[in-house]
Structure 1
Amino acid sequence: MKRVQLRPALTKLLCAGVAVLSMTAAAGAMEDESAAVAEAGLAPLVKRLREEKKLVGLAAMVMVDGKVVDQAADGERKQGSGVLVTTSDRWHLGSITKSITSTLIGRLVEAGKLDWDTTIGDALAGQPIHDDWRGVTLTQLLTHTAGAPANFPMLVKLKNPAEGQPRVDARREAVLGVIAKPPLTPPGEAFAYSNVGYTIAGVMAEQATGKPWEDLVRQEVFAPLKLDQAGFGPPKSPAKGYDQPRGHVTRLGFKVAMGDDADNTPIMGPAGTACMTLDELCCYANEHLRGEQGGGKLLSAETYRRLHEPALDDYACGWVARAEADGVPACRWHNGSNTMWYAFVAFIPTNNMVVAITANDGDIRAAEDAALQVLKASQSLAPASKTSQP
């Protein structure tokens, strides 16, 4: 299995200026696109953006009031294969997994197995932990304010432990290797995006329950929401038929398809290895949308609001808070990439809307720009009574 580094593909973190300028400078064009989407739907926009951004495959779906109102897909599952992507394909979500881990933690908190203020010292008592890590809480880990490094050392990234106890043991060993040394910054004082921090939170969940993180996600998130096709790692896509998309990278100007097992080490699964269909991603985000309004299936409204309340730098527990701007009402969003795939999801309470965009292409900036344009144009699909609300 090929190992790659999970990139925090957050617009706010990597290229905030580019994101703001791209949505503002093209305001007139975006208004035209919104009108075009209102008249002809997403398909022409998705096709144009995929071709313009030179992405292998691009797909989008919009849900309003819990129902899909439009969807579109364009491009190939594998470059040059002639096999087309569809809106029912499965897509690697990258760091959108972080909100799934946070949702799992919320379930364990409500079940009394953890607390938001549970510390690393509590969860890993008796282990060789640096004193500065002992008081770090779950909340700090989930909001990237724990002082954890961005990623694990290369030797950890190269490991591929089998699911089950071998992976639990390897994940715990990797975490203990980090917390034996002091945090990079004083906990609670600075925002620093960290895949390691979410992996530590996953280990704390495993320690509290005696179950692997993967099994906990299946039991506490996927099964209750009936996300039957959701899983971990890239979707399996045999060369005979290419039943699902393959991830791609750009090398020397050419798109290169990766194997259907190419991903980050599963040790850091809690930070970014989930996979599901667009419909499932929309249903998952809609659960968060409804949950904050008191209609969630998994958690209380209070817990959902806690997950969505930003700490430092507009980052909540696996969600980024975005204020109303450029024709898009205030929303919560996240994106992700393992450098071979890209995914974006946002839920917009004002419109009762969820927007999800995926690409089987690791060109993050191109995919991200396409996602932002789809997000803006898709607002024309909301009922007029909702978009006109103050």
Structure 2
Amino acid sequence: MTTPQEELLPGTRRALLHRIAVAQAEGRAPSLVAAVVRDGRAVWHGSRTSVDGHGSDENVQYRIGSITKTFTAVLVLRLRDERALDLNDRLEKHLPGTGAGEATIADLLAHTGGLAAESPAPWWERTPGSLRPELADVVGEQPFRHPVGRRFHYSNPGYTLLGALVERLRGAPWEEVMRREVLEPLGLRRTSAQPRAPHAGGWAVHPWADAMLPEPAEDLGRMAPAGQLWSTSGDLARFAVFLTKGDDRVLGARSVQEMRTPAAPAEAADVGDGSTYGLGLQIQHRDGRLLVGHSGSLPGFLANLTISVADDVAAVVLANCTSGPLLATVGADLVRIVAEAEPRIPEPWQPLAEVDASVMELVGQWYWGTHAFGLRLTADGLVSLEPLSGNGRRSRLRANGDGTWTGLEGYYAGELLRAVRRPDGSVSHLDLGSFVFTRQPYEEGPSVPGGVDPEGWRGIG
């Protein structure tokens, strides 16, 4: 069943319903609930269930597993923005004695800390957290599986350590800090560490028979920051808006953009699908679009949050089964259906409010050697450097207020652009990270390193 929405066209709504219906039927999920977000709000909710009259809506809680890690990452980035820590700090500086202290905070956020994927036996997802009362019980006697910072290796104990770091610096339990600093400001009233009615029960579906077995719902204790939370499709839809746009009460737009930026190398097995990891967010290229978000699973539950920032479309999919529907594929398909059927309408073009004459002097065509580039000033106050033909290095750059600009992306990210002037004040050339850009290809004068052949351009004869 679905809740009728006027925001999406009837054909789009039917395609969304069809996709989750196929997922629930073929995946043999007792129930499945989904939501789609566009333009900063939920525009569609749908659900399928095996029990007539008991379909979930956007207010029914499901366990969201490792999507909890994204919430924990938000808390860590808040501490960074308050300068309580630096992401390059080693864990030992703030949380000594863990045995994993040589990993940096950034390493832990990006799963490049070299830590084991799981805590020592017994299987932590199906046993009480009271069996692992101390951090030593979570990381074990040999915490590392790989050299620190060398490779991506997903680690649940790593996020347990980040949760403990939050507790140490805030002086309060992770759950309390999460509620106070993230859930309440964002209005996520149906997200909690413990289930609150109405909530779905977790089930295992037999792989060779249409039979079900109830799964235990354990309190994960110390492991909570890696996977404890329960939430709803409605709350996760609001969380998706936050991860797209930011919210200064919790984390600003620049910091959530940093979370969405790749911070870990792709494993060899993942290179083909373009998968990598940011700071608490999974990143992948699929169907020609960049998707960010996170998946989650615990015995009895599957969850997925998928966002296409460029399309301003996000999807949430939750199910109450241990295995079955591939929710990452379903989430990506829901985003694709909306993005293709109802492509985003761009905002009207707006001219600059003010024109800086010193910047206008620089716009236009430039040459790096013989490669032609265009430098444009855009309405958002940035400058954009792009090749005029073919593929090449491109970047937007932000003004620093002193006549220089810093690259924001690609090869020139973090590099400095400055205009070099002649004694009379006119612009000689641009210097971008030591690369010289001139108005003509290899323009005569002292600006081109190595000089220019005095005989100039010539034919082959």
Place the TM-score, normalised by the shorter chain, in its bin: 0.7 to 0.9
The within-5 A match list for 1:1-390 is 37-38=11-12, 40=14, 42-76=16-50, 83-125=54-96, 127=97, 129-130=98-99, 133-155=100-122, 157=124, 158-161=127-130, 170-175=133-138, 177-178=139-140, 180-181=141-142, 183-233=144-194, 235-236=195-196, 243-251=198-206, 252-258=208-214, 262-263=217-218, 265-291=220-246, 296-312=248-264, 313=266, 314-323=276-285, 325-326=286-287, 329-380=289-340, 382-385=342-345
- Normalised by the length of structure 2, the TM-score is 0.65
2:113 partner SS: coil
Aligned length: 327
2-side partners of 1:112 and 1:46: how far apart?
44
8 Å contact 1:55–1:367 — kept in the other structure? Answer: no
8 Å contact 2:28–2:324 — kept in the other structure? Answer: no
8 Å contact 1:37–1:45 — kept in the other structure? Answer: no
Partner of 1:20: none
1:62 partner SS: strand
Partner of 1:9: none
Quote the offset at 1:117 in angstroms.
Answer: 2.2
1:87 partner SS: coil
2:310 partner SS: helix
Query: 5+ residue gaps in structure 1?
Result: 1-33, 162-166, 238-242
2-side partners of 1:297 and 1:351: how far apart?
25
Which has more radius of gyration? 2
1-side partners of 2:55 and 2:9: how far apart?
27
Quote the offset at 1:352 in angstroms.
Answer: 1.6
8 Å contact 2:34–2:233 — kept in the other structure? Answer: yes
Q: Which has the higher contact order (CA 8 A, sep 6+)?
A: 1
Q: Which moved more, 1:188-197 or 1:378-387?
A: 378-387
1:113 partner SS: coil
Q: RMSD value over aligned CA atoms? A: 2.8
2:259 partner SS: helix
8 Å contact 1:202–1:270 — kept in the other structure? Answer: yes
8 Å contact 1:37–1:377 — kept in the other structure? Answer: no
Distance 1:189 1:284, change over 3 A: same
Query: 5+ residue gaps in structure 2?
Result: 1-7, 267-275, 348-461
Quote the offset at 1:381 in angstroms.
Answer: 5.7
Identity %: 24
8 Å contact 2:33–2:45 — kept in the other structure? Answer: yes
Distance 1:335 1:255, change over 3 A: farther
8 Å contact 2:38–2:312 — kept in the other structure? Answer: yes
Distance 1:106 1:384, change over 3 A: closer
8 Å contact 2:65–2:227 — kept in the other structure? Answer: yes
2:330 partner SS: helix
Normalized per residue, which structure has more strand?
2
Q: Aligned letter for 2:316?
A: A
2-side partners of 1:155 and 1:62: how far apart?
38
Q: Aligned letter for 1:279?
A: G
8 Å contact 2:129–2:218 — kept in the other structure? Answer: no
Quote the offset at 1:120 in angstroms.
Answer: 2.1
Quote the offset at 1:38 in angstroms.
Answer: 1.9
Distance 1:53 1:135, change over 3 A: closer
Normalized per residue, which structure has more helix?
1
Q: Aligned letter for 1:334?
A: H
8 Å contact 2:27–2:325 — kept in the other structure? Answer: no
8 Å contact 1:287–1:296 — kept in the other structure? Answer: no
2:133 partner SS: helix
Residues 105-157 of structure 1: CA deviation (Å, up to 9, x unaligned): 111222333321232211233x3x54xx3321111001000011011112483
8 Å contact 1:247–1:258 — kept in the other structure? Answer: yes
2-side partners of 1:382 and 1:199: how far apart?
41
1-side partners of 2:311 and 2:332: how far apart?
17
Quote the offset at 1:212 in angstroms.
Answer: 1.0
Q: Which moved more, 1:201-210 or 1:245-254?
A: 245-254
Residues 11-38 of structure 1: CA deviation (Å, up to 9, x unaligned): xxxxxxxxxxxxxxxxxxxxxxx99842
Distance 1:210 1:38, change over 3 A: same
1-side partners of 2:134 and 2:261: how far apart?
28
2:129 partner SS: coil
Residues 219-263 of structure 1: CA deviation (Å, up to 9, x unaligned): 111011011111024x356xxxxx42111112352342526x614
Distance 1:309 1:171, change over 3 A: farther
1-side partners of 2:209 and 2:327: how far apart?
16
2-side partners of 1:348 and 1:105: how far apart?
24
